[in-house]
Structure 1
Amino acid sequence: MADLKAAFAQAQIDVKTLTKRPSNEDLLTLYALFKQGSSGDASGDRPGMLDMVNRAKYDAWAKLKGTTTDAAMTQYVAKVKAMLG
């Protein structure tokens, strides 16, 4: 567990070193996995139709409902490693 949390924290640092901007889809995936790994299932109200960016972020996070925090952290670390090559 401590190793996973350390790897998750390191991945958050490593993702900032990407030389190329990830696609919007990759950014949403990273956001959703990060939120699920750090906060659990999506909470709060879904943003309104006119707030498209935050609505997309919320929807991506909400799709992971039921995913354990450990599984989300593992997927986040794997996604960052894959993006770094």
Structure 2
Amino acid sequence: MVSEEEIEIVTKMMKIDVHDHKEFIDKVHTMIDYFGILDSAGVEGEEIVMDDISISSLRKDEHIPYPDKLIEKLNHYKGTYVRAPKMV
């Protein structure tokens, strides 16, 4: 289905440094098989059908005051900003 040469071409086009292209052949076949499963699911369109829910049947939102400042409970904050971990 997918050859080592095809994977090598794709990695060169995407500028990805891959030393052993044979390693990815099984992974690519697994992904293609998974797409086959998704294709056979029989989904005709992107629209999701859901039952209508009356607004009167939903719970009423209530404001519950919190006595402490939540930002002071965080480990890494500066002023009104929260420091999140670096994305790799």
TM-score normalized with structure 1 length = 0.21
Q: Which has the higher helix share?
A: 1
Q: Which has the higher strand share?
A: 2
Q: Which has the larger radius of gyration?
A: 2
TM-score normalized with structure 2 length = 0.21
* Greater relative CO (CA pairs within 8 A, separation 6+): 1
